[in-house]
Structure 1
Amino acid sequence: MMRTILISGASRGIGRAIAERMLADGHRLSLGLRDPKCLIGSSLDPAIAGSEQVFLHPYEAQDVNAAESWVSASLAHFSGFDSLIHCAGIFHRTPIRFNDNQQHEIDQLWQVNVMGPWMLSRAAWSQLECHAEARIIVLVSMSGKRSKGRLAGYTVSKFALMGLCQTMRNEGWEQGIRVTAICPGWVNTDMAARVKSLPKEAMTQPDDIASLSSNLLQLPNSCVPFELSMNCTHEI
């Protein structure tokens, strides 16, 4: 089944890997990016992949008007879409006892990690309801399931995102919208660049998450998992 998919955060990391895999699978892609020029010359460049397969549009998760603009442009380009993959997200090491200079980090984590997916899902919802087997995939994190260490700001935002996923699942169930929250531990991306306790090759790889996402889009409504959790280290 060929799908038309909106993917946020496709310029690098997990989002980039998912977009490349979805294109290889034959799906049509609308990619929301802070800077669409960053994909020029890549396999995701419409000049290379074909404008009938890939559409690029500016998207900034902190901009309250960005979601509506991107959704409207995607509808105009493809005449519809049936899937939404949220990959845009940020990471800050904001602790409980944050200093005054870190207040903005909490606001940014909330705006990008929670309100970004919320506003985009809201803008796309009426279109997703038009399809009997629509899909929403959200890159959450193991930090949306448990708290380790002192990452208060990031963990709070991811717990909230998991709650949003559960409620979207409830809201869309009767219309055939299936939601999956993907919850990895450390993934070998720029976000994990400062992690020294674990070799990069021992981390979960972006291409592996892309493969899981590809499989999710092929499953019938009757067996789509709500949550996929994976961890590259053993946790008790």
Structure 2
Amino acid sequence: MSQKLVGSVCLITGASAGIGKASALALTREGASLVLIARRKSRLDELVEMIHSAGGRAIAVVGDVREEETALRAMQAAKEHFGALHILLNNAGIGNYKPLIETSAEEYDELMETNMRSTFLFTRHAVPLMLEQGSGLILMLSSMAGKYGFAGEAVYCASKFAQVGFAQALDKELRPQGIKVGVICPGGVKTEFALGKGRTAEGGSIIHAEERSARMCFTADERLRTGATEWGLYQDGETEHRSV
């Protein structure tokens, strides 16, 4: 690859599997240094070892992304180990593909805390570091379910629509201070999580996490240079860039 992100420090939540892991490996190939967050220590350790073996730089922070303490530790780790934080990828998330009347209040809380509370917490504590630098990039990994409503996915859609609105509003708030905020809305992606749920893409096929993460590297680099706030990544390989 082109090593476009040499010198950049990227923090990824939900990094131990799926899109998070594939993105970490792809961003390593682009030269970024990584702070990786997830609950599964053994998987994070394996990923860090893979990155080190490939000549990359990465550290692991084990914790629950729903807890503010995890976000605070992650920011401190980025500052202590790499001295900066240039890119935050809010990737952590879970799904709920059930009719509303089959969804419990506990399931609702778990989904909203994982998908939206974690996004708020990590963004909230990344922004001061980026303000000190005078620049930064914050990306939310949403979904086509954050753009369109799908039957049987009301609660999941609500969490993903929330991420889109959060990103749009924050971009207007923070761009004058040098921090750009974007949201990525992929179609179906072939990951352990998606396959375990027996889910296919909205409207058709499902793309591989590796392909998806390679496009994310392009997106991150483009996002540093352009004004697009929202992207749709579709199964047919087309990428939509849209300023909002």
Which TM-score band (shorter chain)? Answer: 0.7 to 0.9
1:210 paired to 2:222: no
Give the number of equivalent residue pairs.
228
Instruction: Give the TM-score, by structure 2 length.
Output: 0.84
| Structure 2 Cα separation of the partners of residues 220 and 139 of structure 1 | 14
Instruction: Give 1:87's aligned residue.
Output: 91
- In the alignment, the residues of structure 2 paired with residue 122 and residue 116 of structure 1 have an alpha-carbon distance, to the nearest angstrom, of 10
Contact 1:82/1:135, CA 8 A, preserved across alignment: yes
Partner of 1:149, secondary structure, is coil
Q: CA RMSD in A?
A: 2.3
Q: Secondary structure at the match of 2:100?
A: coil
Q: CA deviation at 1:217?
A: 2.8
1:45–1:57: structure 2 CA closer, same or farther, 3 Å change rule?
A: farther
| 219-228 vs 209-218, which moves further | 219-228
Contact 2:66 2:113 survives alignment (8 Å): yes
TM-aligned CA deviation for residue 6 of structure 1? 0.5
Q: Which 5+ residue runs of structure 2 have no aligned equivalent?
A: 237-244
Whether contact under 8 Å (2:116, 2:159) holds in the other structure is: yes
Structure 2 equivalent of residue 171 of structure 1: 173
**Aligned ranges for residues 122-161 of structure 1 at < 5 Å?**
122-161=124-163
Aligned to 2:75: 71
Shift in CA distance, 26/170, structure 1 to aligned 2, threshold 3 Å: same
**Is the aligned partner of 1:14 residue 2:16?**
no
Distance 1:160 1:23 in 2: 30
Residues in 2 aligned to 1:222 and 1:43: alpha-carbon distance in whole angstroms: 29
TM-score (norm 1): 0.87
Within 5 Å, which residues of 2 pair with 1:185-224? 185-193=187-195, 194-195=197-198, 202-219=205-222, 221=224, 223-224=226-227
CA distance in 2, matches of 1:80, 1:106: 35
The whole-number CA distance in structure 1 between the counterparts of 2:140 and 2:44 is 22
Letter in 1 for 2:57: Q
Higher relative contact order (CA 8 A, sep 6+): 1
Unaligned runs of 5+ residues in structure 1 are none
Q: 1:62 to 1:86 in 2, by over 3 A?
A: same
Matched, 1:32 2:29: no
4, 28, 53: which is aligned to 2:9? 4
Whole-Å Cα distance in 2 between the matches of residues 48 and 196 of structure 1? Answer: 34
Determine which of 60, 63, 68 is the counterpart of 2:64: 60
